[in-house]
Amino acid sequence: MRCVFQTTLILAGIFVGIVIGISINSRVQARSEPESPIVTEKQSVTGHGRAFTSWEHSEIENITFSLKSDPHRPFSTVPKGKKLIITDVVYHPQRRAIETITVNLAESDRGNRIMFQIAVNPRESEVVNFCTGYVIDAGKSVKAYTDANAKDGQWVSLSISGYLTEE
């Protein structure tokens, strides 16, 4: 009888020890696991526009963007609650380009703030990669224009890649 009682007591102690160990282990693991990062959906976008030369003043043109997943709904102003991240810009001088044209790519809401300027040679495409991306906030647009010193009637086409994400 005494042997059965000791065995039962030992088994009960082991069971209680296992339950307490599991409880403590799960609490420690819950605290040590890093919180999962907030993931925002990135939507790929492409943009197109032109930079024209003019004798009088440079013509400023909005770049028109569209989602790759929905190309039939273009936008030129970054939608509310979103950010546009520009990653790549390709400059294509058109056939009428006969001299080096300085092209400004600007961020705009009320005024134009040049974010990048490049001299594009005729018949040579230029590619610009922003390694970390250039961020354009909601309500702003992207514009392209040239310097006013080039001969009238030339232009450079721009193709822009990037993505739209939550603000």
- Chain centroid to Cα 148, Å, comes to 31
Distance between CA atoms of residues 15 and 111, nearest Å: 73
Looking at the structure, tell me whether residues 61 and 107 fall in a common domain. Answer: yes
Confidence of residue 153 (pLDDT cuts 50, 70, 90): confident
Domain membership of residue 21 as a residue range = 1-33
Confidence of residue 38 (pLDDT cuts 50, 70, 90): very low
In this structure, is residue 78 part of a structural domain? yes
pTM above 0.75, yes or no: no
* Bigger pLDDT: 115 vs 54: 115
* Bigger pLDDT: 127 vs 149: 127
Distance between CA atoms of residues 1 and 74, nearest Å: 86
Confidence of residue 83 (pLDDT cuts 50, 70, 90): very high
For the segment 89-106, the average pLDDT, to the nearest whole number, is 88
In this structure, is residue 38 part of a structural domain? no
In this structure, is residue 9 part of a structural domain? yes
Bridge partner residues of 93 (DSSP): 156
